[in-house]
Amino acid sequence: MPHQVAVFLENKPGKLEKVTGLLAERKINIRAITIADSGGFGVLKILVDDPESARTALADAGLAAVLKTVVAVAIPDLPGSLHRVLELLARHGVNIQDASGFVVSRGQEAVIILQVDEPGRVSTLLEKEGLALVSDQDLYFL
């Protein structure tokens, strides 16, 4: 199952650059990034090719970084694809706490990243419906 690195950062110039610099020094590749602003602070969420090394490097640098297990599912890059996944999850009472996504190949494939209470159960549910899950290792090759 893939892991997202969440980093609590002060909302000031240079803070994000510090994170990307630490990861670049260690040859850790960022595959996706989101930042949620919360006034003076924000939460940076990244998918990387080596989540544990990224978390360790950031924590060693004094940054509040944690790993979150997420569900990454590949869907067609077509209207309604995301809706079908969300409809399925809603029918099964799954609450989506956080989500992001990106297009891998325009008109062909997208990846949706979901933070949910029970990632194992949700992964099984999605696989039973024939949806392809994306692992940490798969993210490196996208």
Express each pLDDT in 83-141 by its tens digit.
999 999 999 999 999 999 989 877 688 999 999 999 999 999 999 999 999 987 776 66
For the chain, the average pLDDT equals 92
Q: Is the pLDDT of residue 13 over 70?
A: yes
* Mean pLDDT confidence for 20-47: 93
| DSSP conformation letters of 87-142 | HHHHHTTPPEEEEEEEEEETTTEEEEEEEES-HHHHHHHHHHTTPEE--HHHHHH-
pTM for the model: 0.85
Asked if residues 131 and 73 have their Cβ atoms less than 8 Å apart, the reply is: yes
* Closest C-alpha to 73, from 124, 24, 22, 28: 124
Asked if residues 58 and 19 have their Cβ atoms less than 8 Å apart, the reply is: yes
Residue ranges and CATH numbers for the domains of the chain are 3-69 (3.30.2130.10), 71-141 (3.30.70.260)
High-pLDDT (> 70) share of the chain, % = 96
